[in-house]
Amino acid sequence: MKQEVLRNNLKQIRTRLGMNQQDLANLAGVTRQTISGVESGQYAPSTTISLRLAKALGYQVEDLFWLEEDLPEIEAVPAQNLPVGQDLRVILARVGGQWVAHPLIGKDAFRTEMIPADGAANHLSLMDTVLVKLLDDPKKLYNTVVLAGCSPALSLWARAAERWHPELRVHFTFANSMIALERLYRGEIHIAGMHLYCPQTGEHNTPFVHRVLKDKAAVLINLGVWEEGLLVQQGNPKQLKTIADLAQPGVTIVNREQGSGSRELLDRKLKEQKISFTAVQGFDQIVSNHQDVALAVATGKADAGVSSASIATAFGLEFIPLHQSRYDLVILKQYLEEAPVQQLLGTLGHRQVISQLQALGGYDTNLTGEVVATVEAVSNGKHN
């Protein structure tokens, strides 16, 4: 049986009314020590004293006192990016039959507002699990889908889905394509968003899924086909036209980290033109998301950077197209029967989602919601 604790807001109300403890004690006909004991929770007042305090303050008894259940604790597996030895706010999700704790830190702590936490945790060194002190109703946790990727369209889709399914929670955590795929393999998330191209096979995403997921079966569902290319300032002051122009004197770029689709595209295009990475000024100037690329170009810190047409539109920048990239959602087959995942994926067929993606600019939605590939688990070194 859960233990109930008597809580009160006597001090907050008293101070708002400009009273000290002795003032309230005089009005209620009790001692100051009684007021102090009640406010600190060390003393549970009788019905008579509770009524006197309520009358003295002009409130109902239930406005001053309430019973609160001690919230339970849940043992969870820490996501790999959960720091060790810090008290942190976390988001909890049921992934593959186990609880996973994701830290609410850095960019992952915000949408446009700070995200309420499910609990508080301290990941102790050398421990395989973390004990999470819950801060909210545990029933809500079962309706959580965790989504990792780098496209702003993912958060747009997540928020739209939550409008249609008020009980659904989608936690969008930022990650480039390879990191998202690795998180999916480790069982930390339900869905990985990715846009990587393999020049050897001429395929998008599937070869990388085969390599990373290994013994796990998955499906790839398309979110959209987007245009990737160079972002440049309005008016294109450096008159950039091709990838080769990045090696011109006086041109500085901003780059993305290894594992991102944008970095893969830039590396590939430079190699095709036989341009050394060291010949491009700013090649080692790294930022970690599409918005930061656009911000660097918009503020003049860089002349160009690789991102998408939709990002160029959002920041009022000009765009030089380089590649049509398929952005896919990778989901392990074992998660497809889970109700929250089904609810989220079901919204891809909504006209409202298609319209939102089209409004971003640079998105072809002809394949949105379609299964574009399946990947079977590896058995004895061969695909089944």
Given the candidates 1.20.1440.230, 2.60.40.10, 1.10.540.10, 3.40.190.290, the CATH classification of the domain at 142-384 is: 3.40.190.290
**Average pLDDT of span 95-106:** 87
Q: Distance between CA atoms of 174 and 106, rounded to whole angstroms?
A: 10
Range from 104-108, 153-157, 354-358, 379-383 carrying the lowest mean pLDDT: 379-383
Using pLDDT thresholds of 50, 70 and 90, give the confidence band for residue 34: very high
Query: And the tokens for 164?
Result: 């249609």
Mean pLDDT of the chain: 89
* Burial class of residue 101 (count of CB atoms within 10 Å of its CB; 0-12, 13-18, 19+): buried
Residue 6's Cβ-side half-sphere holds a number of Cα atoms within 13 Å equal to: 17
Q: How many CB atoms lie within 10 A of CB 213?
A: 21
Q: How many CB atoms lie within 10 A of CB 16?
A: 10
**Average pLDDT of span 313-328:** 92
Look at residues 216, 224, 254, 174 and name the one whose alpha carbon lies nearest to residue 329: 224
Q: Distance between CA atoms of 31 and 55, rounded to whole angstroms?
A: 16
Concatenating the DSSP letter of every residue in 240-251 gives --SGGGGGSTT-
Query: And the tokens for 275?
Result: 């341009």
Query: And the tokens for 372?
Result: 């574009």
To the question of domain 4-69 being in CATH 3.40.605.10, the answer is no
All residues at 6 or more sequence positions from 28 whose CB lies less than 8 Å from its CB, including other chains: 35, 49, 52, 53, 55, 56
Look at residues 320, 163, 178 and name the one whose alpha carbon lies nearest to residue 236: 320
Concatenating the DSSP letter of every residue in 142-176 gives GGEEEEEES-HHHHHHHHHHHHH-TT-EEEEEE--
Per-residue pLDDT reduced to its tens digit, 175-194: 999 999 999 999 999 999 99
**Average pLDDT of span 137-162:** 89
Rg of the chain in Å (alpha carbons): 27
Q: Are 343 and 176 in contact (CB under 8 A)?
A: no
All residues at 6 or more sequence positions from 346 whose CB lies less than 8 Å from its CB, including other chains: none
Residue type, 106: G
The pLDDT of residue 379? 66
The pLDDT of residue 67? 76
The pLDDT of residue 110? 54
Using pLDDT thresholds of 50, 70 and 90, give the confidence band for residue 160: confident
What residues does 93 pair with on adjacent strands? 100
Characterize 113-147 residue by residue with b for buried, 16 or more Cβ atoms within 10 angstroms of its Cβ, and e for exposed. eeeebbbebbbeeeeeebbbbbeeeeeebebbbbb
Per-residue pLDDT reduced to its tens digit, 204-225: 999 999 999 998 999 999 999 9
**Average pLDDT of span 70-85:** 86
The pLDDT of residue 382? 46
Per-residue pLDDT reduced to its tens digit, 102-126: 987 766 765 656 788 999 999 988 8
Q: Distance between CA atoms of 329 and 345, rounded to whole angstroms?
A: 10
Q: Distance between CA atoms of 317 and 28, rounded to whole angstroms?
A: 68
Q: Distance between CA atoms of 82 and 189, rounded to whole angstroms?
A: 14
The pLDDT of residue 125? 84
First and final C-alpha spacing in the chain: 50
Q: Distance between CA atoms of 258 and 320, rounded to whole angstroms?
A: 22
The pLDDT of residue 363? 85
Look at residues 168, 193, 161 and name the one whose alpha carbon lies nearest to residue 349: 161
Q: Are 233 and 239 in contact (CB under 8 A)?
A: no
Helices (H), the chain: 10-16, 21-28, 32-40, 47-57, 61-64, 152-164, 177-185, 206-213, 261-272, 290-298, 309-315, 339-346, 351-360
Per-residue pLDDT reduced to its tens digit, 226-283: 899 999 999 999 999 999 999 999 999 999 999 999 999 999 999 999 999 999 999 9
The pLDDT of residue 106? 64
**Average pLDDT of span 58-87:** 83
Query: And the tokens for 4?
Result: 């109930």
**Average pLDDT of span 117-137:** 90
Using pLDDT thresholds of 50, 70 and 90, give the confidence band for residue 383: very low
The pLDDT of residue 1? 46
Domain locations along the chain? 4-69, 71-136, 142-384
